[in-house]
Amino acid sequence: MQLLLHRAGIECTLVSGNDQNNVSHMWNLVTIDGRNYHLDPTWNDGSDKIHHSYFNLTTAEILLSHKIDKENIGIDTCTSREANYYLRKERQLDTVRRDDIAKTIADAVIQGDSIIDLRFTKNTFAAARLFINNRELLIQKVNHILNGSEYLMWNYEEYNVNDIYYTLTLYKHDS
């Protein structure tokens, strides 16, 4: 990843540390628009299903699931959230309103996204998760918003949950 980022002109350095089980792990510290962020591409696609839970995090956020080795040199504290994936894509939601969540999903469908990543606040995550889990109601609400567009029958095959970062990722059903 570091090589790809450098070739793309993105300043990047490796960070060493441990995961929650004290297993050695490395990830990247990237500089976007003059601000530093933690990016862990390994954990963003650790399974067959891609998600963006570890994409451009602050130091406080990465420390929820990672421990930074004291031996790292030049690792600044990252405080900016401007390039966080969810904020840039307007997928950071502070609502429990089902219509708002469905509208965000419908907008992502219209944009052509087959993976829809949403991040909620600590206070809204449980209610949002219940709504996402109610497959029939979610599909009904999203399709109601899509009615009249070229996207008439949206469906998802499964979703991923990250309880640490309050993220829910839906994967489009290819039928």
Q: Return the SS3 of 167.
A: strand
Residue 45 scores a pLDDT above 60: no
Residues 54-77 have pLDDT tens digits of 999 999 999 999 999 998 887 878
Lowest-confidence region among 28-32, 75-79, 108-112, 132-136: 75-79
Residues in the chain: 175
The answer to whether residues 120 and 73 touch, using CB atoms and an 8 Å cutoff, is no
Residue 76: φ, ψ to 5°: -75, 160
From CA 44, how far away is CA 40, in angstroms rounded? 6
What's the chain's average pLDDT?
89
- Tens-digit pLDDT profile for residues 96-119: 999 999 999 999 999 989 899 999
In the numeric block, the tokens 């419908």 are attached to 106
Q: What angle do CA 26, 29, 32 make, to 5 degrees?
A: 150
